Amino acid sequence: MKHNRDGTSTTDGQSAEWVLRLYIAGQTPKSLAAVSNLHQICEQHLAGQYDIEVIDLLEKPQLAEGDKIVAIPTLVRMLPLPIRKIIGDLSDTEKTLVGLQLKPKAS
Amino acid sequence: MGETVPNGLPKCPTGISGFDEMTGGGLPRGRPTLLAGSAGSGKTLFALEFVLHGIERFDEPGVFVSFEETPEELTANMASLGHDLEGLQREKHLSVLYIALEAHELIESGDYDLDGIFLRLGAAIDATGARRIGLDAVENLFSAFSDLRILRAEFHRLMAWLKARGITAVVTTERGTDSLTRHGLEEYIADCVIALDNRIENQLATRRLRIVKYRGSAHDSDECPFVLNRHGFSVIPISSSGLDYQASTERVSFGIETLDDMLGGGIYRGSSALVSGTAGTGKSSLAVQMVDAACRRGERCLYVALEESPVQIERNMASVGFDLAQWRRAGLLHFHATRPTSCGLEAHLATLVALVREVRPQFVVIDPITAYSTRGYEERVKLMLIRAVDLFKSMGITSVFTALTYGGNAEESTSVSISSVVDVWLLVRNLESAGERTRGLYVCKARGAAHSNQVREFQLSSEGLRLVDVMLDDAGQILTGSARRLHQTLKEDESTARDLADQRRRAAIENRRLVLEARIAAMRAEFEDELRALEAEIEGEDSRLRAANRKFLNLANLRNQVGRGDS
C-alpha cells in the first residue's frame, strides 16, 4: 500500500517495532481526540519504538477500501502482526491498551 | 423512469416479475425500502435484482453493498442467472462494495461514527452515478458493534443521507424472532416494508412475500408466493389477473363431433376444462384428443406432464391413434415434464408462468393437476388451479386439467372443491357391470353452454376416441361394453323369432284361405249342378206340356173333320 506518511514518526530508523495507522475523516472533534489520545498512549507505553501514520479519508477516500474502514476513527495496528483494529476516539485508555495488546484483557 | 401513480407517489420499478404489478409500479422512488426475511428466503437476490434490473432495463446505475457475501460469491451466484457483475462493474454501471465486519477483531474505545461506510458509499455512488442502492444483510453491522446507541443513530443518518440524495434503496435484514427485524430497523424505514418468508410445508419449501407496509400506495396485502429459479426472483401475485379477463364466444372443437355436441359445440376459447376420473379412465387421452385437434388447427400447445415422460406419452398415445411426435417436430407441441415433488408448488407455478411467456401457447394441458398434491391436500391443488386458470385466462389460453380422483363414492366429491374454478367439467367414470369395466363420460358442468345431461360411453381404440350413445336395458340400466353387445344380440334374436312366428302365421292363414277358396269352388260347383238339374227338369216339363197341347190340338182337328162329312 502506497501512501504518504504524515510525519508523526517518532522512531529514528527505518524499522519501527510498532506501526500504527489511524484513519480519520476531517478535523472533527472525534478525529482530533483520537490523534491526541493515540500520541499520549504511545509516548507512555511505546516510546521510541512506534511509527504513527494518520490518514484523512476526506482527502483520500479511495484508501478506505484498503483497510476496509467502516468506523471513524479506526486505528489499525499494522505491526506487530497480526493486524488489529480499534475503533473510536481512543478515550478509553484501558480498552485501547487491551486492543493493542499492551495489556492483557481484564476479567 | 418515474412511474407516477394517480396520487403522485413516484415509483421505481424493480423489474422483478410479478412484484411491480403487485405494488402498482414498484418501490417508492427516492426512498429506502426495508426487506426483512429469514435465512435463505431470497433477500439478497431481491436486492441484487433490483439494482441489476435498474442498470439493464431502466438505465439507472447502481451500487450494491454487501455486509455478508463476498463479491466473488455474488458474481458466481448471479452468473447462473445470466447477470454479468464483473462486466457491469467494468463499464461503471455497477459498483459492488463488500463491507467485511470482523466482529471479534474490533475493539471499541470511545466515540466513533460510521463515516467509513458513508465515504466508501459516497465514492461508489459518485463513480457510477447510482440511482439505486442495495444494502444487503445490514444486521451484520449491528452485531459487529457493541454500542447500539451509536449504530442506531448512524443507521438513521445513513437512511436520511440516501433519501437526501434521491436514491432508491433496498435494505435487507434478517427477521427477528418475535419482531419483524432483529434490531427494530422498521422504525427507521417507514415508507415501505416487505417481509419474506421461507416455510416448510408438506416437506416442500414454500416462499412467500408480503408487503407489510407501503405508505401512500395501494398494494396487495396478501402473502404472495414467490420463487427463485433460473429466471431469478419472481412473485406470483394471487390476484394479479383478477376476474376481468375477456370472454371469447369462439368455440374450440374437441375434434370429436359427438363430444362437441354434448357441449353445445365445443368449449369456449380461453376457457378452462377439468377432466376428472379415476385411474385408467382415459383422462389423458381425452386431453390429448384436444391437443391433437388444436395442433391440427395450427395452434401452439404446451403439455405439462407430471406423471409421464414425453416419450412415454407419445408412445402410449400412438396406441390410441394419436401421432403427437409430428406436432412436436412441427414446433406446435411443447412438452414440459417434471416431477411434482421436485420443487414446491410456487416454483412449479413460476416455471409455468415462465414457460407460458416463452412458448406462448394457445392451448395448455396440465396432466394431472392433482399430482401437485398428495391425497388430502385438495386446498393446495385448488390454489394451484386458481392461479393457473387465472394465468391462462388472462392470456386467452384455453386450458385443460386432468384430475385423478379416487374410487368409491368420494370419486366426484373430491373434484367438487376444484371444479368451481373451471368452466367445463367432464367426468370420466368407470362403469362396472357383469365383470367388466367400461368408461362413461358425463358433462358435469359447462358454463355458458347448453350441454347434454346424458352419459356417453367413451371408447378408446387404435383408431382413436369415440363416444357412443349409451344403451339402456328394459330396467333403465346403462349398458356398455360387452353387456351392450349382448343386449344388442339378444334384441336381434328376439326379433328374428318374432319374424319366424309371423311367417308361420301368415302361411297358416294362406292355407286357410286356399282351403276356404277350394270349399267355395266346390259349393259353387254343387250349386251349379243343382241349378242345371232344375233347369233340365223345368225344360222336361215344358216339352211334356207342349206335347200334350199338340196332342189336344190334333184331337180337336180330327173331331172337326168327322162332323162335317162322313161321321
DSSP string, B294-327: HHHTT--EEEEESSS-HHHHHHHHHTTT--HHHH
Q: How many CB atoms lie within 10 A of CB B288?
A: 28
Distance CA A41, CA B217 (A): 56
For domain B3-235, the CATH architecture is: 3-Layer(aba) Sandwich (3.40)
DSSP lists the bridge partners of residue B446 as B424
Tally of residues, chain B: 567
A38: closest chain B residue by CA? B109
- How far B384 CA sits from the closest chain A CA (Å)? 47
A39 touches chain B (CB under 8 A): no
Distance CA A85, CA A40 (A): 18
At B90, give phi and psi (nearest 5°). Answer: -60, -40
List B residues 142-171 in contact with A (Cβ-Cβ < 8 A): 144-145
∠ CA B455-B458-B464 to the nearest 5 degrees? 150
Distance CA B322, CA B484 (A): 27
Contacts of A87 in chain B (CB under 8 A): 106-109, 112, 145
Q: Has residue A10 been placed in a domain?
A: no
A84 touches chain B (CB under 8 A): yes
Q: Do domains B3-235 and B251-483 have the same CATH topology?
A: yes
User: Within a 13 Å sphere around the CA of B469, how many CA atoms are in the beta-carbon half?
Assistant: 4
B552 touches chain A (CB under 8 A): no
B104 touches chain A (CB under 8 A): no
A68 touches chain B (CB under 8 A): yes
ipTM, interface predicted TM-score of the complex? 0.84
Distance CA B352, CA B346 (A): 9
Q: How many CB atoms lie within 10 A of CB B24?
A: 16
Q: How many CB atoms lie within 10 A of CB B488?
A: 13
Test A71 with B116 for CB contact under 8 angstroms: yes
Task: Compare CB distances from B112 to A30, A61, A98 and report the shortest one's residue.
Answer: A30
Contacts of B102 in chain A (CB under 8 A): 85
User: How many CB pairs below 8 A link A and B?
Assistant: 97
A105: closest chain B residue by CA? B107
A62 touches chain B (CB under 8 A): yes
Which pLDDT does position B475 carry in this prediction?
67
Distance CA B395, CA A47 (A): 79
Test B116 with A72 for CB contact under 8 angstroms: yes
Cβ(A90)–Cβ(A83) under 8 Å? no
Distance of CA B116 to the CA centre of its chain: 57
* Nearest Cα residue to B32 out of B17, B50, B44, B15: B50
Kindly state the average pLDDT of the residues B488-492: 76
Distance CA B217, CA B390 (A): 24
Contacts of B145 in chain A (CB under 8 A): 71, 87
B97: closest chain A residue by CA? A65
Q: Has residue A7 been placed in a domain?
A: no
Task: Compare CB distances from B111 to A86, A89, A96 and report the shortest one's residue.
Answer: A89
Q: Is the pLDDT of residue A27 over 80?
A: yes
- How far A60 CA sits from the closest chain B CA (Å)? 10
A76: closest chain B residue by CA? B106
Task: Compare CB distances from B99 to A34, A70, A99 and report the shortest one's residue.
Answer: A70
Minimum mean pLDDT range among A84-93, B45-54, B247-256, B341-350: B341-350
Distance CA B104, CA B143 (A): 10
Could you report the per-residue pLDDT of B390-405, keeping only the tens digit for each?
888 888 889 998 888 7
Distance of CA A43 to the CA centre of its chain: 13
Strands B398-404 and B272-277, by their bridges, are: parallel
Q: How confident is the model at residue B252 (pLDDT cuts 50, 70, 90)?
A: confident
Distance CA A103, CA A101 (A): 5
Cβ(B232)–Cβ(B49) under 8 Å? yes
B113 touches chain A (CB under 8 A): yes
Looking at CATH, the fold of the domain delimited by B251-483 is given as Rossmann fold (3.40.50)
Q: Has residue A82 been placed in a domain?
A: yes
> Can you tell me which residue has the cell 508523526?
A8
* Crossing angle for the helix pair B115-128 and B148-164, to the nearest 10 degrees: 20
Q: Is the pLDDT of residue B82 over 80?
A: yes
* Nearest Cα residue to B355 out of B399, B402, B292: B399
**B176 DSSP assignment:** P
Kindly state the average pLDDT of the residues B356-362: 85
Strands A84-87 and B106-108, by their bridges, are: parallel
Test A85 with B102 for CB contact under 8 angstroms: yes
At B171, give phi and psi (nearest 5°). Answer: -110, 120
Contacts of B161 in chain A (CB under 8 A): none
Minimum mean pLDDT range among B323-327, B487-491, B552-556: B487-491
Q: Has residue A47 been placed in a domain?
A: yes
B116 touches chain A (CB under 8 A): yes
User: How many separate domains does chain A show?
Assistant: 1
H or E element, residue B210 = strand B204-214
We report the CATH number of the domain holding residue A37 as 3.40.30.10
Whether pTM > 0.80 for this model: the answer is no
Contacts of B105 in chain A (CB under 8 A): 84-85
Q: How confident is the model at residue B485 (pLDDT cuts 50, 70, 90)?
A: confident
Contacts of A32 in chain B (CB under 8 A): none
Q: Domains of chain B: which residue ranges?
A: 3-235, 251-483
Could you report the per-residue pLDDT of A29-86, keeping only the tens digit for each?
999 999 999 999 998 888 888 899 999 998 888 888 888 888 999 999 888 888 888 9
Which pLDDT does position B407 carry in this prediction?
60
A65: closest chain B residue by CA? B120
* Crossing angle for the helix pair B283-296 and B310-318, to the nearest 10 degrees: 90
Helices and strands counted in chain B (H then E): 15, 26
- Provide the domain limits for residue A58: 18-92
Distance CA B231, CA B252 (A): 33
Q: Is the pLDDT of residue B1 over 70?
A: no
Sign, CA dihedral B338-B343-B346-B350, equals: negative
